[in-house]
Structure 1
Amino acid sequence: MKNTRNLLFITWDGASSNYLETLFFPILKGLQQYGFQTSVFQFSWAPEVEVDRIRELAKNYSINYFHQKIYLFPPRSISAWWSLMLSKKKLLELIDQQQIDILMPRSTMPAWIVKMLYGDLTKRSIKIVFDADGLPILERVDFAGLRKGSWKYQSLFTIESFLIQHAYRILCRSNSSIAYHLKNHGQLSKSKFVKVVNGRDSDFFIHNTVRREEIRKKLGIQNQEMLWVHSGSIGKAYDLDTVFGLMRKRTAVKLLILTRQINEALGQVPADLKERVMVESAAFFEIPSYLSAADLGIALRTPAPSLKGLAPIKLGEYLLCGLPVLANPEIGDLEEEMSAVQFCFLFQKGLESAFFKWLDELEKLNSSEIRAFGVSHYSLEESLKSYLKALEI
């Protein structure tokens, strides 16, 4: 291996890119101490002020940042193709300028541009490390109306399959997603796949007793009341209905929905629970304080086949802050990883009574032990170990 390796991470985003700045920037920064010079090429339709903000943040992480605008016009598939075509020359020039030798496209659309440029990349002896990002095509089938067998599905599957066949390494978030790809993409060696961790900074995500009391007072939470928290995105893939159903059976429970999607969240709250459900938006640096105020972290997803590809980022945040967790056994490898621990309840229909019995025992749990588990399984350090394994090229 050379003393310095130049890695370019390619990502496709919308108007915002929270996961890029909060998950991948720390990972890319961490890789620098192991001899990697890291760069990011981001496709997005974010306004210029947001692009400038991301660029400045990347600079603070010593990450080279480059942006390509996504043009939006109907049909969206054509506008996506056009945006990719416009970037081909720019991307190749960047690869030469930065002397890139490892290319890491994340998910399907970045995989498409790499497929377009594959001949040029091969001539430059560039290694491709494909971040397969869970099971994104299956997610579209489950939650976005994509129909299996449609021309769009076949196109996306062809792109994904090409990258999986030709990449030097493939990054997945669960052993279940590795098994899925091995089954669906022809003759492949399992050694090409590496399960990587969506880890968080354990020095940042840490319980704060003082802030716990301040936030609970601000939210109007009484000492005898239990506060549950759902942190992050909401929508079809997130099973808040089950949470609301459980709340109706426990009057001394309140729920905090911590999200940027304020209006969408408010629209989901049932009329009979409006006095007990709070919707808040917080800056990233405030999230550990809000989690410290809670007694239970919610990571429930709507059951669907694509869940097996996931590794919820929020799970690590909850555990690092010492929170017990309510989650699904269908998510990623959680049944394998969490079924034996006392601080995680894997919920399914019919287990309501067992859940409430578990809930009543939460005070006996040791938050330091929960955090220790989070550090050993979901910390940034664990992320870096998994990525370094994948980058042994």
Structure 2
Amino acid sequence: MATIASVGSYQVPILYISYDSMLEPLGQSQVLAYLKRLAVGRSIHLISFEKPSDWANLVERERIARDTAAAGVVWHPLGYHKWPSALATAWDIACGIAVGLWLVLRHRLRIVHARSYVPAVIALVLKRLTGVRFIFDMRGFWADERVDGGLWPRDGRMYRVAKWFERRFLLAADHVVSLTHAAVREMEQFPYLKGAMPPVTVIPTCADLSRFCIQAKPDHEHGFVLGYVGSAGTWYQFDAVVACFVALLKQRPQARFLIINRNEHDYIRAQLTAGGVSLDLVELRAASHAEVPMQMARMDAGVFFIKPLFSKQASAPTKLGEFLGCGIPCLANRGVGDMAEILEGEEVGIALDDFSAESLRVGVERLVDLVANPHVPQRCAAVAEQFFSLESGVARYQRIYGRLGG
């Protein structure tokens, strides 16, 4: 895949490496949204890895090319390879190193910003070869996520190799970006970082609050709408979400459940039925990322439960900032990043200790009381601005670049 776009001459250009596709919603909301703002006053070279199915979409490909070029981002899309897994990833890494090395030497790049672990391998090699400054934007404890998700055994070779690389990343990084303070506290306990802790900045997963903002709510025929947005599998305890709605019905019999999900509808219906919820009380629909704020405007409260596993200490769910930006209080759980501290400490939601029937009953009761408070929507929006503003995240990245000579 060829380089797309060109920019004028800017000082101290930066190489940003993402293993996520720019042709998918995640890459657009969590990479390009930042880079378009960070490229003001400096050029940024972006290496991404694009899946063949996404690359085949010529219209979307050309749209992203125009957007990146207009923002001053030079996009270098490479092909993503999936099978066989380890060899395919090794090939992608080799391609990334080759292109990255050429870019560093050709454009005299000073900083390589690696988003997560696979790009960090590329960045580490480039640092060893050229002396560039290395930002490890870790996005979570990736190796532990593979174990917690059942993909790797904890005593397996892949896990040991990934943790070996994690150690090298943290020791070699000129700056580390973490999604949560909880993850930083955990890293401070790593024996090999005693006396060698790199500079760390916490930048949670941010939301575009110009889109996720308070909107006029439509009149509800049924009085209370509980909302759920996003995936229902893997890390999420959707059975507990169903039990939460059952508890809500006992307090608000006319309540309805609005679920926004792209491709797990059969699973969600099965969980609702197994939990004793009539599908007549549920609206289950798909929505594009652009449509989500409009659907959130219909909700009175949000709910989501994430398995409180070790790796989740480093997670910052995107949906939390989006819900709060829309003025919607949330019911969630403890053991996931900084979520409980924000919800309870800022009085914009409820964080459960467990999923027992009594905890759910009390949690739902407290949530209903929050929704009844007319000051809560503005409080939620203010907290979103404080913790999850895209502009705030960009400003923190700019300060990191500045400290590293960018």
TM-score under structure 2 length normalisation: 0.85
8 Å contact 2:178–2:203 — kept in the other structure?
yes
Distance 1:21 1:208, change over 3 A: same
- Whether 1:241 aligns to 2:246 is no
Residue 385 of structure 1 is aligned with which of 375, 389, 395? 395
- Whether 1:319 aligns to 2:324 is yes
Question: Paired residue for 2:7?
Answer: none
Q: CA deviation at 1:95?
A: 2.5
Equivalent-residue separation in structure 1 for 2:124 and 2:266 (angstroms):
36
Question: Paired residue for 1:82?
Answer: 91
Question: Paired residue for 1:23?
Answer: 30
Q: Give the count of matched residue pairs.
A: 377
RMSD: 2.4
Residue 363 of structure 2 is aligned with which of 349, 355, 379? 355
Equivalent-residue separation in structure 1 for 2:191 and 2:117 (angstroms):
15
Equivalent-residue separation in structure 1 for 2:124 and 2:173 (angstroms):
10
State the one-letter code of the partner of 2:32: F
Q: CA deviation at 1:167?
A: 0.9
Question: Paired residue for 1:255?
Answer: 257
Question: Paired residue for 2:116?
Answer: 107
Q: CA deviation at 1:64?
A: 1.6
Equivalent-residue separation in structure 1 for 2:254 and 2:73 (angstroms):
47
State the one-letter code of the partner of 1:72: K
Equivalent-residue separation in structure 2 for 1:60 and 1:328 (angstroms):
41
- Whether 1:182 aligns to 2:191 is no
Runs (4+) off by over 6 Å: none
Q: CA deviation at 1:157?
A: 1.0
Equivalent-residue separation in structure 2 for 1:265 and 1:382 (angstroms):
37
What fraction of aligned residue pairs are identical, expressed as a percent?
Answer: 19
8 Å contact 2:305–2:333 — kept in the other structure?
yes
Q: CA deviation at 1:131?
A: 0.6
State the one-letter code of the partner of 1:30: R
- Whether 1:132 aligns to 2:132 is no
8 Å contact 1:29–1:38 — kept in the other structure?
no
TM-score under structure 1 length normalisation: 0.88
Q: CA deviation at 1:121?
A: 2.7
8 Å contact 2:349–2:367 — kept in the other structure?
no
- Whether 1:376 aligns to 2:364 is no
* Alignment gaps of 5+ in structure 2: 1-9
State the one-letter code of the partner of 1:320: G
State the one-letter code of the partner of 2:363: F
Distance 1:333 1:37, change over 3 A: same
Residue 161 of structure 1 is aligned with which of 164, 167, 191? 167
Question: Paired residue for 1:219?
Answer: none
- Whether 1:5 aligns to 2:12 is yes
Residue 196 of structure 1 is aligned with which of 203, 210, 223? 203
Q: CA deviation at 1:87?
A: 3.4
Q: CA deviation at 1:264?
A: 5.8
Distance 1:149 1:257, change over 3 A: same
Q: CA deviation at 1:292?
A: 0.7
Equivalent-residue separation in structure 1 for 2:395 and 2:191 (angstroms):
27
State the one-letter code of the partner of 1:186: Y
Equivalent-residue separation in structure 2 for 1:64 and 1:111 (angstroms):
20
Distance 1:242 1:109, change over 3 A: same
CA-to-aligned-CA distance 1:344-375 (integer Å, 9 cap, x gap): 10023242232132133121242122212211
> 79-88 vs 241-250, which deviates more?
79-88
